[in-house]
């Protein structure tokens, strides 16, 4: 069973807000093992039971989504199964997009836009919506029609009896999250990531972040930086190295969770060099390491110890790039000593090195 609390909105008090709001609008929410989210055309909004939903789902999200569908489709659809929408072809994609626009627009004012996101395949479209969710997405052909449909719905809502229940439900949800302090909103009413950081400005997710531990990898302080593993479901839990070792802090996120302000792309050692700069002061070399005879000019001896020579605050083998975005590259990368080879990209020490030189928060 998916425990309450996996998602900030997946809690009994938030669920109760949206069940009551649906009732105010004339709909009855029922939990079932027979569906994910649908309507029966008789006033019933059927939402999957706890066993059916993933960790990134919540009743609040799904009920809100169905209410937005009802608003976009209009009163003539309220007694039609699935609001009269087809789920076997693409003819109603534009109406789905209009619904998502309405979701983003209405939840934005309450600071809930990221948390009210869809978790179906349409999440990609939702992430591409501009700051003004009622403006067209230029990369989607014919998107002006869905934008216009959403704007028409917003105008209808302003004069509708639905306006007050929806505004009150969003405000109440925001207040619960803020009071709980468990993600969702911080003390200033700003959205925060489930791990406690502010949400980032990008459309990236935890699944593309350098600091998320790939699914199937042991959640330790070492390991290679991940990429988004193909074929995995969004509910796969990903430990985050940004919070490993911090007391009283959530430790896991998921592939499709919107990225926090600390998001970074997969690391490129040859563009970083943090560990070879002022972050660390020496690189010990074993006497039998091939670098000793391959690059003798870069090796110095201190009594019984061998080290790679330093030039000021950096390793002598590290050379800065040129241009507006200088890169740091190791001129002996293929022959680098074993100490360097064992320093894993994306490990705790890598993160610490990047913090010391100001590349990571």
pLDDT tens digits for range 146-168: 999 999 999 999 999 999 999 99
* Domain annotation covers residue 205: yes
215 vs 44, more confident: 44
Mean predicted lDDT score pLDDT of the chain:
81
Number of domains observed in the structure of the chain: 3
**Cα gap 156→150, rounded to integer Å:** 10
Does residue 68 sit in the same domain as residue 150?
yes
Helix axes 143-159, 59-73, angle to 10 degrees: 90
| Contact between 207 and 256 (Cβ < 8 Å) | yes
Does residue 248 sit in the same domain as residue 174?
no
Helix axes 59-73, 163-180, angle to 10 degrees: 160
**Cα gap 195→251, rounded to integer Å:** 7
Which of 266, 285, 319 is at the close of a domain?
A: 266
Range 48-62 average pLDDT: 88
**Cα gap 282→291, rounded to integer Å:** 15
Whole-model pTM? 0.56
* Domain annotation covers residue 107: yes
CA atoms within 13 Å, Cβ hemisphere of 359: 23
pLDDT tens digits for range 308-353: 988 888 888 888 774 454 577 888 888 898 888 888 887 778 888 8
Q: Which of 61, 51, 140, 73 is nearest to 107 (CA)?
A: 61
Q: What is the dihedral of CA 59, 64, 70, 72, to 10 degrees?
A: -150
User: For 260, which DSSP code?
Assistant: B
* Domain annotation covers residue 202: yes
């Amino acid at each position: 069973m998916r425990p309450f609390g996996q998602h900030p909105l997946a809690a009994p008090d938030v669920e109760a807000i949206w069940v009551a709001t649906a009732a105010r609008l004339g709909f009855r929410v029922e939990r079932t093992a027979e569906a994910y989210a649908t309507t029966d055309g008789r006033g019933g909004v059927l939402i999957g039971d706890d066993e059916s939903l993933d960790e990134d789902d919540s009743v609040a999200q799904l009920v809100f989504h169905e209410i937005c569908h009802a608003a976009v489709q209009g009163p003539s659809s309220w007694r039609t199964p699935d609001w009269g929408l087809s789920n076997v072809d693409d003819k109603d994609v534009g109406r789905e997009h209009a619904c998502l626009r309405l979701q983003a627009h209405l939840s934005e004012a309450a600071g809930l836009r990221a948390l009210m996101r869809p978790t179906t395949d349409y999440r990609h479209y939702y992430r591409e919506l501009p700051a003004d969710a009622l403006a067209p997405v230029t990369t989607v052909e014919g998107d002006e029609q869905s934008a216009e449909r959403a704007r028409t719905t917003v105008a209808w809502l302003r004069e509708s009896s639905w306006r007050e229940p929806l505004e009150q439900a969003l405000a109440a949800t925001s207040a619960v999250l803020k009071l709980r302090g468990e993600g969702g909103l911080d003390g200033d009413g700003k959205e925060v990531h489930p791990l406690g950081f502010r949400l980032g400005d990008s459309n990236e997710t935890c699944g593309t972040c350098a600091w998320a531990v790939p699914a199937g990898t042991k959640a330790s302080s070492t390991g290679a930086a991940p990429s988004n593993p193909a074929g995995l479901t969004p509910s796969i839990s990903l430990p985050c190295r940004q919070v490993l070792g911090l007391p009283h802090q959530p430790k896991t996120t998921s592939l499709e969770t919107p990225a926090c302000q600390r998001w970074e792309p997969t690391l490129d050692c040859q563009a970083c060099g943090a560990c070879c700069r002022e972050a660390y002061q020496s690189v010990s070399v074993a006497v039998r390491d091939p670098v000793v005879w391959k690059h003798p000019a870069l090796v110095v001896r201190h009594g019984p110890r061998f080290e790679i020579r330093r030039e000021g605050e950096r390793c002598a083998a590290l050379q800065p790039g040129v241009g507006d975005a200088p890169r740091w590259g190791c001129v002996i990368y293929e022959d680098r000593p074993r100490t360097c080879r064992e320093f894993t990209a994306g490990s705790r020490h890598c993160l610490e090195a990047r913090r010391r030189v100001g590349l990571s928060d």
